[in-house]
Chain A
């Protein structure tokens, strides 16, 4: 086994080993021990990832790929898939984020789960998730990716339903899995189309076999495959119309929400599209769909976020919304921007989730922000780091969120696949984001305390605050690896957009308009100022004039009602899709199975029994009747043979 294979083995193996150690010992109550094992595994994995990326950096940009094949998984006919792994520019970012943020969240969990009943199980799941997520991003072919894809779904299911004694939480896990499955079915169909069209499922072979953009004569299968894969992405990445599972997924432990439902798993869809950018650019229609769904989701989820009272739900809708941005980016061909936002979002959203976890931990599992307020005094570190996250997400200039979000907005305007309308939707969503995030900040940390008397919030232990601080720093500076050209030009030393350089060889490109710097600056200004205005409004509403929100809500009337009820999407799904299926199935069972097929069987047996009864009545015991049968038999025979 060469060195790279060994690194792959360690990268993937460490969490797997951690999973087995904790999993076989699942009854253990020793959260320190199991936490250390799991965190250790994650850190080992991170080191391996870093070493791999180091190897990668030493390679020339065009050949930045490290492959390693372990064994042949399936070989049937001309379909052959290996358990093979690939690190390139794209997955390098992913593995660093996954193992890096993952390690931090593992560490955070040690503190967070200290008093749980079954920490070993929790950490086992977390390690298993890490393993599957790495499979997903490292997969050298669509099938290995799919393994990870479903694997993370499974872990998500297990972790959301971790506190399964609560039926609602168990239901949330189930919902997540099944909704994801709908997407997975699309993913599968995408794989089928791609394999049957191009004869391979390996990414490198697939992309090399794609026709050039010029030969667009046969985009049919490509468009279909892209759309099918995008269905998969909407499931995993919680886009319209399959986003409904993500807010419910907040039922899981908060670190899980941070890791799975903010930083890593939910970005898998984006990652997949970026990984297949070469395919998607050949299907402009599919790209348009991706962009529109992304933009719409961004806005839609953001508006829902405006009215939520559960700290985690706000963050969940925010995640859906931010994922929408990523799809918007991918849809307009700004794959690099999508990856960038994916990364920065991983930092600040993980930070905010962990921060909320810290708050919830301090508040004794209270998640309603109406019962918080003024926590900045009791929880200074949490507040400070959360504050950074807040700044990042609302797009405060030069923070990570600003860099990536504004790149997306600019690309959605300037890309040949973009449209000003997409930009506009994005900007409105950004304003909404700014509003609800400020609202969240205000209600949680600022203003007067509404904390119930019996709760005594306190700052969390270091295992929880250290990850917060690290993530806070990353949220502050993480964006600097991708400073936009226009801004870079203004900064001394003219830092380049490192990320773009790094990713460029691995991505397909869509022609971009060389928009003027002035245009870019003015668009940037519009979005920043809109966000600022929204933030100020929120601050005004929830800190300065706490009585105003009610009036505003009343002013919006029906619209407010719709938004605060999440547009009744869950109810509509329940009433229009789930219930009809269940009722229909019951009807099938009652009317087709029992009522028709079985009744047909019974009918056959009834016919036999009826005929038997008839024959019995013919057999009435009268000798002369029997003699008559004989005579009749004779007569009929004679008639038939001689006369008839």
Chain B
């Protein structure tokens, strides 16, 4: 028995974004320690964080075109890694900006907040690059642990604690399940490397029930992270309890990263064998129920954050449709590209929507209800317009990018012959329109006094504007993005 271990410095270069994030996350913390535990200027802190994020982003962009695996096949650097990596650091950067201008996050622990956020982003990057189940697990845990604490240190006194606690317990529970699946897969396939697993999966899946069991555990563990019914129950509670910038970050970065891993898993054709049919069947049901549950429960919500949380559950369902298509037919059916496109679109709209909410919170305890939005169009027309655009995009109304996301998902489903899922998604969309319209209605069609945007939150306003404008522009000219997605998927994955 021999352990071959090849280490190359060039691999470290590829890992630089993560390193940069990790290193820059230390800076504010070190400053805080050196200044005797006194919280330094939050703007400077944010800038250190942003510098790391931008550096990471720059590095990611420079990695464009790389197509190779590194660290002995543990991490994969391809177009997908770059694209989703950029989406993740974008979300992190925007969330950082929001955090600085939110009362629940800009507390006397803001340095720690930045530290955790950047590390969470690093974890997400690892997850989305993982080509090995162990690395995946490490990434997931890095991300999750940071998020638990991020929620827990919120300035909000009660709900955030409960949320952190719930998230931690359930997250660890799911991690254990996931890990158990890794163990089974490792035990049966003899490796945790996705390529190696893929090579054997055809045989294993039909011969070895333990392998299939491992896959199920794995799928359930991942499904928990991306909140698929019935493993979604934590989502609304945690999203609502977490400080809004963190929620935005979680809803976008964590979901994008985990879905990419999920995609890599199904693209290894592990699910292509006949014996996996039943697994795909039940995943289809889960997707359908996720869309249903997310949309229907969102209809009943009064808290905007909770509503968006449920809507994020529903969106997971839509992405699952694309994922199922990817698992059935590979890239010919456009399943994986639809997933990636949707993830990018979803990141843009969701982070923007949570950003507007974050802007409206007037203290650490404030919860924005739909009624609080009354007459917002009059008080801050631009923010109202941004939120409108973002919500309409989430609802999938053309010409916003959300429409094209749904369009690609439905195309994939139709192409794969999954008409019922497409129609199901359509019906879900109709329901979703109802609750997405409610805030718009309150903002424009009511004149009473409600929540307000404090004047000095210019950076957040800018970030939201960027998201909103991007939602429209990318919607109108979605071809470049789609091209990028297709490019990202080409290559030796």
Using CB atoms and an 8 Å cutoff, list the residues of chain A in contact with chain B.
Answer: 605, 608-609, 611-613, 615-616, 618-619, 621, 623, 625-627, 629-630, 632-634, 636-638, 640-642, 644
Contact = CB atoms under 8 A, between A and B. Distances in A.
Nearest to A605: B434
Given A609-B299, A641-B212, A626 B233 contact: yes
B301 to A, nearest CB: 9
B174 A637 contact: no
Contacts of B297: 612, 615-616, 619
A613 B170 contact: no
Contacts of A623: 165-166, 169-170
A142 B16 CA distance: 89
Given A625-B233, A626-B233, 20 more contacts: A615-B296, A615-B300, A619-B297, A623-B165, A623-B169, A626-B237, A627-B170, A629-B230, A629-B231, A630-B170, A630-B233, A637-B219, A637-B220, A637-B282, A638-B216, A640-B281, A641-B212, A641-B279, A641-B282, A642-B209
Contact of B173 (A618, A627, A640): A627
Contacts of B278: 640-641, 644
A630 to B, nearest CB: 5
Interface string B218-241: 011001100001110110110000
B55 interface: no
B217 interface: yes
Contacts of A627: 169-170, 173
A605 to B, nearest CB: 8
A615 B170 contact: no
Contacts of A613: 300
Nearest to A626: B233
Contacts of B234: 626
B298 to A, nearest CB: 8
Nearest to B298: A612
B213 A642 contact: yes
A621 B230 contact: no
Contacts of B300: 609, 612-613, 615-616
A179 B224 CA distance: 72
Contacts of A611: 292, 296
B293 interface: yes
B146 interface: no
Contacts of A642: 209, 212-213, 216
A173 B286 CA distance: 67
Contacts of B231: 629-630, 633
Contact of A638 (B169, B213, B233, B431): B213
Contact of B230 (A609, A612, A633, A641): A633
Interface string B298-316: 1110000000000000000
A609 B435 CA distance: 11
B242 interface: no
Contacts of A621: 237
Given A621-B237, A632-B230, A608 B299 contact: yes
A454 B472 CA distance: 84
B177 interface: yes
Contacts of B213: 638, 642
B233 A634 contact: no
Contacts of A618: 233
Contact of B431 (A608, A630, A640, A644): A608
A642 B298 CA distance: 34
B180 to A, nearest CB: 10
Nearest to B180: A634
Interface in B163-181: 165-166, 169-170, 173-174, 177
A642 B215 CA distance: 11
Contact of A626 (B166, B293, B298, B299): B166
Contacts, number: 84
Interface in B251-294: 278-279, 281-282, 286, 292-293
A365 B252 CA distance: 86
Nearest to A615: B297
Interface of B: 165-166, 169-170, 173-174, 177, 209, 212-213, 216-217, 219-220, 223-224, 229-231, 233-234, 236-237, 278-279, 281-282, 286, 292-293, 296-300, 431, 434
Closest 4 CB pairs of A and B: A612-B300, A626-B233, A615-B297, A629-B230
A637 B165 CA distance: 27
A642 B213 CA distance: 8
Given A608-B431, A641-B278, A641-B282, A630 B299 contact: no
Nearest to A638: B216
Contact of A619 (B217, B233, B431): B233
A629 B296 contact: no
Given A612-B297, A642-B213, A619 B236 contact: yes
A612 to B, nearest CB: 4
Contacts of A625: 233
A218 B194 CA distance: 84
B290 to A, nearest CB: 11
A484 to B, nearest CB: 80
Interface centre among A618, A625, A641 (most CB of B within 10 A): A641
Contacts of B224: 630
Interface centre among B237, B279, B281, B299 (most CB of A within 10 A): B299
Nearest to B300: A612
Contacts of B229: 633
A613 B298 CA distance: 10
A619 B240 CA distance: 13
Contact of B216 (A629, A632, A634): A634
Contact of B177 (A605, A609, A615, A630): A630
A406 to B, nearest CB: 77
B296 A608 contact: yes
Nearest to B294: A615
Contacts of B292: 611
Contacts of A632: 230
Nearest to A644: B278
A220 to B, nearest CB: 49
Contacts of B230: 629-630, 632-633
A638 to B, nearest CB: 6
25 contacts: A608-B296, A611-B292, A612-B296, A615-B297, A616-B297, A616-B300, A619-B236, A623-B169, A625-B233, A626-B166, A627-B173, A629-B231, A630-B177, A630-B220, A630-B231, A632-B230, A634-B220, A636-B282, A637-B219, A637-B279, A638-B216, A640-B281, A641-B278, A641-B279, A641-B282
A269 B434 CA distance: 58
Nearest to B220: A634
A606 to B, nearest CB: 11
A23 to B, nearest CB: 45
Interface centre among B233, B299, B300 (most CB of A within 10 A): B233
A615 B292 CA distance: 10
A310 to B, nearest CB: 59
Contacts of B169: 623, 627
Interface centre among A611, A613, A621 (most CB of B within 10 A): A611
Contacts of A608: 296, 299, 431, 434
Nearest to B166: A623
Contact of B217 (A626, A634, A640): A634
Contact of B233 (A609, A629, A644): A629
A122 B287 CA distance: 74
A608 B434 CA distance: 11
Contacts of B209: 642
Nearest to B167: A623
A631 to B, nearest CB: 9
A480 B299 CA distance: 88
A608 B431 CA distance: 8
B431 A634 contact: no
A626 B282 contact: no
A339 to B, nearest CB: 67
A608 B429 CA distance: 13
Contacts of B282: 636-637, 640-641
B216 A630 contact: no
A613 B230 CA distance: 16
